[in-house]
Amino acid sequence: MDLSKIARPCIKVSRYVLISRVGRPGNFRQVCGRDLKVVLLADRGFADRELMRYLQEKLGWHYRIRIKRHFYFQYRGQWQSVAAVKLNRGEARLVESVRLGKSKPYGKVHLAFAHDQSSGEFWAIVTDEMPDLQVFQQYAWRFQVEESFLDLKSNGFDFDASRLRDKDALFRLCGVVALTMLFLTLQGTEVVNSNNRRRVDSHWFRGMSYLKVGWNWVNLCLTPAKTLPKSAHPYSEVISALRRFKFDGWADLGRSVVAHDWKIEIHRSLSAQPDPHPATASKKQRQQSLEREFTVSRWKAA
């Protein structure tokens, strides 16, 4: 039996079910506002012409979707593959008004190609709106979801280890996890906004997800005061340790007890504005992202 013939339609149906439920006017627009502009950011697994049509015609959403190299597009009557687009490092090409796919052409759409100078990676992104360099920055926001994958798996809830197969049990577990994720994300937002992040995240820039920052903060607040035996550390070492970790509590050295008064206070809402404290793996990576430049060429519509 060819499992690909079964798996592929199932995956495609699951995408439509998920997106249609999220995008239903009764569920989405009433909460987020009818005038809100929605842009779907997706990787190559979502590069489907039917999905693009559904997003644009049924939901009124915009999209930035990465496509694979074997895709064909038609520009001014000529077909060529994405793999045939050759760019030097640091070059970008914006292509207007093309049709996508040879067998069942869909269009008009627009394409944005780039060859990153630092990583050497090649990007090909399809969008329904007139392309510019902001397309690449907008698509890069998609990678923020990777933090959530890590939180759901090995770095947090270890969701895969549940081994649940009953749909009702899975539904209830997902509900509990979703509420917990919201609570911890709100807590992490409050910790970052109150300049307390370095107490639970030692990176110069934010290196953890907001959820993980909130998780660590809750653990810190629930940890009882630590008793230090008098003979274990000289007072000078205790004081230097408190200074090194920028401790804001108090230390009663006569009893050798360290206490704190930190509280669990969640943020009331999540802002729709760009993250003022984006997660960064290192100073070098952050600097490279700020210095990224492209030489741009544009293929205009006929």
Q: Phi and psi at residue 132, in whole multiples of 5°? A: -150, -175
What is the pLDDT, as a whole number, of residue 34? 64
What is the pLDDT, as a whole number, of residue 2? 33
| pLDDT tens-digit map of 28-72 | 555 566 677 888 898 888 888 888 988 888 888 899 999 999 999
Q: The whole model's pTM is what? A: 0.66
Q: Could you tell me the CA-to-CA distances from 66 to 79, 95, 112 in Å, in that order?
A: 19, 14, 9
| pLDDT tens-digit map of 267-300 | 777 777 777 777 776 666 666 666 678 889 998 8
What is the pLDDT, as a whole number, of residue 276? 76
What is the pLDDT, as a whole number, of residue 161? 84
What is the pLDDT, as a whole number, of residue 67? 93
Q: Is there a contact between 59 and 19 (Cβ–Cβ < 8 Å)?
A: yes
Give residue limits of the domains in the chain: 3-142, 172-290
Positions of the chain with pLDDT lower than 70, given as ranges? 1-34, 225-261, 281-291, 302
Q: Sign of torsion, CA 64 69 70 75?
A: positive
